[in-house]
Chain A
Amino acid sequence: MKSLKALQHALSDSQYQLDVLEHSEGQKAFFDALKEIGLYPLQPAAFEIFQVNVGKMCNQTCKHCHVDAGPDRKEIMSRDTMSECLGILRDHPEFETVDLTGGAPEMNPNFRWFVEEIKKLDRKIIVRCNLTIIVANKKYHDLPDFFKSNQVEVVSSLPFYSKSRTDRQRGDGVFEDSIQALQMLNAVGYGTENSGLLLNLVYNPSGAFLPADQSQLEQDFKSALFKDFGVMFNHLFTITNMPISRYLEFLLVSGNYEHYMQKLISAFNPAAAKNVMCRNTLSIGWDGFIYDCDFNQMLDLKVESPVVHIRNFNKEALIHRNIVIGQHCFGCTAGSGSSCGGATV
């Protein structure tokens, strides 16, 4: 499967996506929902998480991917841009966590160097690993050891604990490769009791519906994965699929778009709105531009600030900005809320 960009699909254009999202008739506007609860304009609360998208290159082309990542995507962060990120981290210890995402971040040739340099700055490091990269090629087989030696928290996508539902979303063979990778991570201590090595799984609904209760699903995943494969992990994060990019394409083609948006809007939860991740996170793109979150990044909605690139980083200017919002933000505020760390309420 190719990326939308490689297919020259209309939805590979972020402006086209915004046109679809922002001009749907009869939909309540997200800013009205925020106004009703006194949260408009939405502003940051603090800086805690520095999320870096090190590139769109990936060994998978998942049907729901909001990045439109894939093997044909060549956009990756350069070592120079990573060095600029390290400079910001050095000067701003309030960014306690560095969250590395992609694509498959491990495919960036400077990935390991970047992780080791962040480790020297004594920050908590999260790597969003798609699991299959660990078994995709011999050169990645030692990733579990590398993660362990840098005390990286591994956050891994696994759509479901059954093969059919996982492979439908992520591609044939993904489930078996993912299980093998999870076993390799368990073998070095990840997800096992008292190891201190955190292995958290991410569940995205495999269709046009919202995630179920996070704690119930976590129990289901834990018992099924342990019973069938002896796999252990720490927590399950449920993440709502954003109506962006390939998932937006699925919604439109399958005729689910309007119903899904209505579902998100009906499930608007003020408590989730207060806890949206863009209030404590900055998201850095592969080319150094700054965004409020990874979703805004994929829609090319840069921060509303005089500072839009890390080369001009200025904390004061950024902390006093208004966060850029749109209809897609209903995805983070529906039901129990959704963030890169799972449910928010």
Chain B
Amino acid sequence: MSQHYYFNEDLAKFGNIGDFQKPLADKFFSWYGEVFKDGALSAKEKSLIALAVAHAVQCPYCIDAYSADAFEKGFDEAQMMEAVHVAAAIRGGASLVHGVQMMNKVNEISM
């Protein structure tokens, strides 16, 4: 029998986290709902941001949810892939910029 850490049907059970701690779950979902409404940014723009962040944090549930949501909201495949590249660039840059720290340390201990 194959074993997984992730099951796609679990995404639909997200609301069940309230079974163990309802007041906190209610606060989270209320806040979450507000975050994704039209505001200074449109709900559509927020969907693309969420898609990029989903890749940055490597959350399979979030990738499923926001791939569908962004496509549904009218982004095309090229726009969505560019958003993923933005996430990847930030992740890659985040590693590389620490190269400066590495260089600082090397310079510090070098003669």
| A and B from one complex | yes
Contact A212 B76 (CB under 8 A): no
A209 CB-CB contact with B under 8 Å:
yes
- B43, B74, B76, B77, most chain A CB atoms within 10 A: B74
Determine the distance from Cα of A165 to Cα of B78 in the docked complex, in whole angstroms.
Answer: 11
Give a binary string over B18-35; 1 marks a CB under 8 Å from any A CB, 0 the rest: 000000000000000000
| A207 vs B69: C-alpha distance when bound (angstroms) | 12
Kindly report which residue of chain B lies nearest to residue A160, judged by CB atoms.
B76
Provide the residues of chain B in CB contact with A207, threshold 8 Å.
71
Are B76 and A164 touching (Cβ within 8 A)? yes
Stretch at the interface among A213-221, A304-312, A319-327: A213-221
Q: Which residue of B lies closest to A212 (CB)?
A: B73
**Within 8 Å of chain A (Cβ to Cβ): is B81?**
no
B72 neighbours in A (Cβ, 8 Å): 205, 209-212
Q: Which of B44, B68, B76 contacts A165 (CB 8 A)?
A: B76
The reply on A162 being an interface residue by CB < 8 A is yes
Can you list, as one digit per residue, whether each of B74-100 has a CB less than 8 Å from chain A (1) or not (0)?
A: 101100000000000000000000000
If A164-B76, A165-B76, A216-B73 touch, whether A209 touches B44 (CB-CB below 8 Å) is no
Residues of B in contact (CB 8 Å), total 10
The B5-47 residues at the A interface (CB cut-off 8 A) are: 42-44
CB neighbours (8 Å) of B77 from chain A are 164
How distant is the Cα of A165 from the Cα of B80 in the complex, in angstroms?
Answer: 14
The closest CB in chain B to the CB of A162 belongs to B76
Q: How many A residues have CB within 8 A of the partner chain?
A: 14
Q: Using Cβ atoms and an 8 Å threshold, which residues of chain A touch B71?
A: 207, 209
Residues in chain A near residue B44, CB distance under 8 A: 212-213, 216
A55 to chain B, nearest CB (A): 32
* Binary interface encoding of chain A residues 212-247 relative to chain B, with 1 for a CB under 8 A from any of its CBs, else 0: 110011001000000000000000000000000000
Expressed in whole angstroms, the minimum distance between the Cβ of A278 and any Cβ of chain B is 26
The answer on a CB contact under 8 Å between A213 and B43 is yes
With both beta carbons as reference points, the residue of chain B lying nearest to A216 in the complex is identified as B44
CA distance A211 to B73 in the complex (A): 7
Closest chain B residue to A165, Cβ basis:
B76
Q: Cα distance A216–B68 when bound, in Å?
A: 17
A216 and B74 contacting across the interface, CB-CB below 8 Å: yes
Contacts of A217 in B (CB 8 A): 74
0/1 string, A151-164, CB within 8 A of B gives 1: 00000000010101
B42, B43, B68: the one contacting A209 at CB < 8 Å is B68
- Which residue numbers of B lie inside 8 Å of A, CB to CB? 42-44, 68, 71-74, 76-77
Of all A-B residue pairs in the complex, the 5 with the closest CB atoms, nearest first, are A209-B72, A212-B73, A162-B76, A212-B74, A220-B74
- 14 additional contacts (CB under 8 A) given A160-B74, A209-B71: A160-B76, A162-B76, A164-B76, A205-B72, A210-B72, A211-B72, A212-B44, A212-B73, A212-B74, A213-B43, A216-B43, A216-B44, A216-B74, A217-B74
| 23 A-B residue pairs with CB within 8 Å | A160-B76, A162-B76, A164-B76, A164-B77, A165-B76, A205-B72, A209-B68, A209-B71, A209-B72, A211-B72, A212-B44, A212-B72, A212-B73, A212-B74, A213-B43, A213-B44, A213-B73, A216-B42, A216-B44, A216-B73, A216-B74, A217-B74, A220-B74
